[in-house]
Amino acid sequence: MTAPIETTGAAAEAQPEAVLKGVEGKRIEGRSLGQIAWLRFRRDKVAVAGAIVVILLIAIAALSRPLQSLLGLDPNSPNQSLIDPNTTLPKGDFGGMSGDHPLGVDPKFGRDLLARILEGSWVSLIVAFGATLLSVAIGTVLGVVAGFYRGRVDAFISRMMDVFLAFPLLLFAIAISASLQGGAFGLEGLPLHISVLIFVIGFFNWPYMGRIVRAQTLSLREREFVDAARGMGARGPFILFRELLPNLVGPIIVYSTLLIPSNILFEAALSFLGVGIQPPQASWGGMLNQAVKYYEVDPQYMIVPGLAIFVTVLAFNLLGDGLRDALDPRSR
């Protein structure tokens, strides 16, 4: 037999685990899912740049009227002294750009383009955000119900989604918008046009959100936490709104940010076709419509609203892509 080995001195006092120098006084803290998503998002410089541009655009739209007052601009004030009476085009180069009118003026009337871009920004964002909220509300509720209850409920809601997706949306939107131009529901003028656009764009776009939420719900309803809630006696409404919906926040936020730019383009398309926001109210799509007659002789008039739409849509798309990668790294 071998004698037991005795440990003495420093060996006896050695710790069973290695201790890193300088870490003894620090506590190791866990990170929440929100903190982890924020760290992922912060590392994506392109998405951060998109978020900064989006914040600036929202601030500009919210403060468009004060900014116009501060700069002494009026989007509907004509200035015939800046227009060549022979050609109805702005005097000077690049559409009449000057210190007083940094983006130039529009042909025929001489209205300041910067003021009209600022005025059109809040219209586009209100329509886009309002339509997105309506689509998200309808699509989320019906998608969760269809995915959770399945069976006949799922079949009925799914067929309803197919019917809405089969609508020729653009033609239908043109018909509704054109028929309600005079007045309806006690509204007229700009409030009526904005309300109609929000309803038409939001109500007929909800199936896209509904399908995404339904697919996510079908996956989540088989998870252990749903079985645990059922085992504790929870009923359908409690599971829907307390268990499933909180886990759907990520996909809903991501798709909402990607839906907003498409709604901006839809509003611009309807205004371009003459059934959206009506003049003299400024809108980016309406400005493009008016610029079609002058793009060969005054391209500045088309470039300015076109760039406004391009930058806005690009910023929202970059933000949406960054949020998708941050909230669901498996999608990368």
Report the amino acid identity of residue 80: Q
Q: Determine, yes or no, domain membership for 22.
A: no
Asked whether residue 111 is assigned to any structural domain, the reply reads yes
Confidence of residue 305 (pLDDT cuts 50, 70, 90): very high
pLDDT over 70 percentage in the chain:
86
Establish if 175 belongs to a structural domain: yes
End-to-end CA distance of the chain: 62
**Does the pLDDT at position 306 exceed 50?**
yes
CA distance 26 to 206: 49
Token digits for 316? 């929202």
Between 59 and 99, where is the model more confident? 59
CA distance linking residue 247 with residue 224, whole number of Å:
13
Q: Which two tokens stand for residue 265?
A: 């383009």
Position 16 in a domain: no
User: Which of 318, 129, 148 shows the shortest CA–CA distance to 230?
Assistant: 148
| DSSP 3-state of 82 | helix
Is 19 inside any structural domain? no
Does residue 17 fall inside a structural domain? no
Instruction: Judge whether 220 and 152 are in contact, CB under 8 Å.
Output: no
Dihedral sign computed on CA atoms, order 19, 20, 24, 29: negative
Sorted by sequence, the CB contacts under 8 Å of residue 322 that are 6+ apart come out as 41, 44, 46, 47, 48, 50, 51
Mean pLDDT of 38-59: 92
Q: Which pLDDT band holds residue 332 (cuts at 50, 70, 90)?
A: low
Q: How many structural domains are present in the chain?
A: 1
Question: Does residue 44 register a pLDDT over 50?
Answer: yes
Structure confidence at residue 265 (pLDDT): 92
Q: Answer for the pair 217, 148: CB distance below 8 angstroms, yes or no.
A: yes
Q: What is the pTM of this model?
A: 0.83
Q: Are 302 and 295 in contact (CB under 8 A)?
A: yes
Tell me the CATH number at 137: 1.10.3720.10
The predicted-structure confidence for 162-175, as pLDDT tens digits, reads as follows 988 887 877 877 78
Average confidence (pLDDT) over 186-206: 84
Q: Which residues contact 74 (CB under 8 A, 6 or more apart)?
A: 68, 111, 112, 115
Return the number of other C-beta atoms located less than 10 Å from residue 219's C-beta. Answer: 10
Average pLDDT, the chain: 83
Residue 34 or residue 304, greater confidence? 304
Tens of pLDDT, residue by residue over 81-116, are: 888 888 888 888 788 888 888 898 989 888 999 999
pLDDT for res 24: 52
Domain-located, residue 279: yes
Q: Are 199 and 130 in contact (CB under 8 A)?
A: no
> Does the residue 157 lie in any domain?
yes
User: For residue 283, what are the domain limits?
Assistant: 33-79+88-325
The better pLDDT of the pair 129, 296 is held by 129
The answer, yes or no, to whether residue 133 has pLDDT greater than 60, is yes
Would you place residue 12 in the very low, low, confident or very high pLDDT band (cuts 50, 70, 90)? Answer: very low
Buried b (16+ CB within 10 A) or exposed e, 57-93: beeebeebeebbeeeebebeeebeebbeeeebbbeee
